[in-house]
């Protein structure tokens, strides 16, 4: 999900910043240009980690700024379809839950939570399975699979996730299902050992 990517760019240094350290000014300019934005080839740019700036810049006619070549390292978040991850529920609505996935919020649609009819308690912001009684609340930790990604150029993106597959869902549910499965396998091993 997270990658460290190196890019090359040209940074404009305005005359008001000529006395300041070049690397510091270039880092500020690159942060303004990249951080918090979605770039299709890179994903969501979380932060500019480091920059190397050519100390010799170029001048353009009728422009007081100097232009310097720079190489920058960017920490990027780019979710991939079918990738499994974990996150915290940050909001519950009548149509599903929003899960913090890196720097973005992913939608867990009500139809993708579990194989059960789900009711929404608006007063307490809780989603409850009618037959199973399983509940989702703000602050719950969830394991999910990414099923849809739409990162358009700009500052917004959409990520869709599901928990309707084995070993996905609320972490407590996964632990319960593993505990139920463990005694069966231990019994099978004990019987096999007796033979």
Indicate which CATH number applies to the domain containing 114. Answer: 2.40.50.140
Mean model confidence pLDDT for the chain: 88
What φ, ψ does residue 110 adopt, rounded to 5°?
A: -55, -30
146 and 104 co-located in one domain: yes
70 and 89 co-located in one domain: no
Question: pLDDT tens digits for 113-152?
Answer: 988 899 998 888 899 889 988 999 999 999 999 999 887 7
Domain stops at, among 27, 50, 77: 77
Q: What residues make up the domain containing 90?
A: 84-185
Domain stops at, among 59, 77, 95: 77
The whole-model pTM stands at 0.74
63 and 113 co-located in one domain: no
Q: Report residue 182 as tokens.
A: 């463990």
Domain stops at, among 46, 77, 108: 77
Question: pLDDT tens digits for 3-34?
Answer: 899 999 999 999 999 989 999 999 999 999 99
């Amino acid at each position: 999900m997270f990658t460290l990517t190196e890019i090359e760019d040209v940074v404009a240094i305005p005359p008001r910043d000529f006395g300041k350290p070049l690397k510091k000014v270039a880092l500020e300019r690159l942060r303004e240009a990249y951080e918090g934005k979605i770039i299709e080839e890179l994903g969501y740019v979380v932060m500019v980690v480091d920059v190397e700036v050519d100390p010799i810049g170029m001048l353009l006619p009728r422009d007081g700024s100097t232009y310097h070549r720079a190489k920058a390292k960017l920490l990027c978040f780019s979710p991939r379809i079918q990738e499994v991850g974990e996150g915290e529920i940050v909001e519950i609505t009548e149509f599903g839950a929003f899960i913090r996935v890196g720097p973005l919020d992913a939608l867990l649609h009500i139809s993708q939570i579990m194989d059960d009819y789900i009711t929404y308690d608006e007063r307490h912001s809780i989603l409850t399975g009618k037959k199973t009684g399983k509940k989702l609340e703000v602050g719950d930790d969830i394991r999910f699979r990414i099923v849809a990604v739409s990162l358009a150029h700009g500052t917004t993106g959409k990520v869709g996730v599901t928990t309707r597959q084995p070993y996905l869902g609320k972490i407590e549910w996964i632990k319960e299902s593993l505990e139920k499965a463990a005694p069966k396998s231990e019994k099978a091993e004990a019987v096999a050992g007796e033979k």
